[in-house]
Amino acid sequence: MLMNKLFLTETELQKFGKVENLSQKVEALLNQQKENWELLRNNFNSLSNIKTKIYNFENSQIKIQFNQLRIISTSAKVDKKSIEERKCFLCLENLPSVQKGIKYKRDFLILCNPFPIFEQHLTVPHLKHIPQSIENNFLDLLELSKELCEDFFVFYNGSKCGASAPDHLHFQAGFNNSIPIYKNYSNSIKNCGKIIFQNELTKVIFVNNGIQKFVVIESDDTIKLQQIFIEILESAKKILNSVEEPLLNILSFFGNGIWKAIIFFREKHRPTQYFAKGKKQLLVSPASVDLSGLIITVREEDFNKICKNDVENIFNQVQLSKEKLEKILKDFVK
C-alpha cells in the first residue's frame, strides 16, 4: 500500500509532461513535485540565485558553487554510531508524505532531490535498506545512465567518501553540462590521458591533468565494462591491502553507443581544512560532484575565501596518489 502511494503512474505523470522515455518521465516527475511540494519548489527555484566562480588550471577547469541547501549533506555525521541512531531518510517509510517517485526496474525508486545542486537532480535509492556498495550494483549504474538518455550522468559516492546515507544503496543523477569534467573530457583524454589497456570492446585510460587523477573505462558492452571494473577493483583492494570496497567515487556517462565510467580512487573522505578551527576552516567535503570539477561550498565565507591553492591542496589530500594509482593499474594489466 505504501509503495502504491509513492509511485506515480504514467497516467499521473502525463498531466505534467511527456512520458515516452525515462528522461521525459523524470522531467514530468519534477514538474509534479514542484507543483505539490513547497520545500522542493522553493529549493529548485533558489538555484537561479546560486553564486559561482571559476578557476582555470592548465588542463582543467574547477567551478565553485555557493549552495547553502547542501549544508545537511556536507556536514552529515557518517560515523557508525550516528548512522545507527537516526532514521534512514531513504527508506520508503521515512519519506515525506508529499514526496513521490517513479519505480525503476524491480528494485529502485527515482526521486527528485529536495536539496538540489543541478536543475534536475535525482536520487535513486534501492527499495530495500541495504548497504551502499557498488560491486554487485555496477550494472544498474550503467543501465540507468543509458536509460536517462544523453543529457544525464549518474554518480555513486562510496560509503566512506561522500554518501550521506552509507547504510542505504543509492545513486544520484544530474545534467551532464553542469559539471566541468564532462565539458573538458575530450581535452583531458587527448592531453593528459594514457591508455593502460585496449581491445576491440574496451579501453582503460589513466588521466592526470594536474588537479584531477582518475581512471576511465570506455566500452560499448556493459558486461565487458563491468568485468574490467571488477578487475580494477580487485587490484585496488590488493594494492591498498583492503578486503572492503576501496574509497571511491564513480560517474557514468552514455552517448553515441558508448559508456564512459570515470573512477576517482580516494585517500580519505575529508581534507584537513574541514576540521580546522576558526578562519582556517573550509567546510568542503568532496564527493563525486566536487571531484568532477564542481566544488560545493555551503557557507558564503568559504565560497569567498577558497582560492586556487586551496583547490589544489584539497584535491591532493583526498585523491589517491599518482604512485598508488599506477601500482593498481600495473597490477590490473598483469
Cell numbers standing for residue 300 = 558564503
Segment 239-253 mean pLDDT: 96
Strand segments (E) across the chain: 51-56, 61-66, 101-104, 108-112, 122-125, 152-157, 170-175, 193-198, 202-208, 213-219, 248-255, 258-265, 294-297
Mean pLDDT of 256-273: 97
**Dihedral of CA 219/220/226/231: which sign?**
negative
Check residue 5 and give its pLDDT.
78
Torsion sign over Cα 330, 132, 244, 282? positive
Name the average pLDDT for the chain. Answer: 94
**DSSP secondary structure of 275-312:** H--GGG-------HHHHTTEEEESSHHHHHH--HHHHH
Average the pLDDT over 36-57 and give the result.
Answer: 94
pLDDT confidence tier of residue 150, bands split at 50, 70 and 90: confident
Closest C-alpha among 272, 300, 276 to residue 286: 272
From the list 117, 77, 76, 74, the residue with the least C-alpha distance to 302 is: 74
Give the pLDDT of residue 4.
61
Instruction: State the Cα–Cα distance between residues 262 and 33, nearest whole angstrom.
Output: 31
β pairing state of 193-198 and 202-208: antiparallel
| CA distances in angstroms from 312 to 146, 171, 211, listed in the order given | 33, 27, 6
Q: pLDDT tens digits, residue range 162-172? A: 998 999 999 99
Q: Tens digit of pLDDT for each residue in 275-289?
A: 999 999 999 999 999
Q: Each residue of 111-125: pLDDT tens digit?
A: 999 999 999 999 999
320 band by pLDDT with thresholds 50, 70 and 90? very high
Distance CA 242, CA 234 (A): 9
pLDDT digits (tens, 9 = 90+) for 189-223: 999 999 999 999 899 999 999 999 999 999 999 99
Cell of 152: 544525464
pLDDT in tens, 68-104: 888 776 766 777 787 778 899 999 999 999 999 999 9
Q: What is the predicted pLDDT for the residue at 80?
A: 79
pLDDT of residue 149: 85
pLDDT at residue 334 in the model: 86
pLDDT confidence of residue 145: 96
Summarize the confidence of residues 256-263 as an average pLDDT: 96
Beta-bridge mates of residue 259: 219, 254
Of the given ranges (67-81, 141-155, 260-274, 318-332), which has the lowest mean pLDDT?
A: 67-81
* Residue type for position 206: F
Percent of the chain whose pLDDT exceeds 90: 87
For the segment 49-57, the average pLDDT, to the nearest whole number, is 94
Q: Each residue of 127-137: pLDDT tens digit?
A: 999 999 999 99
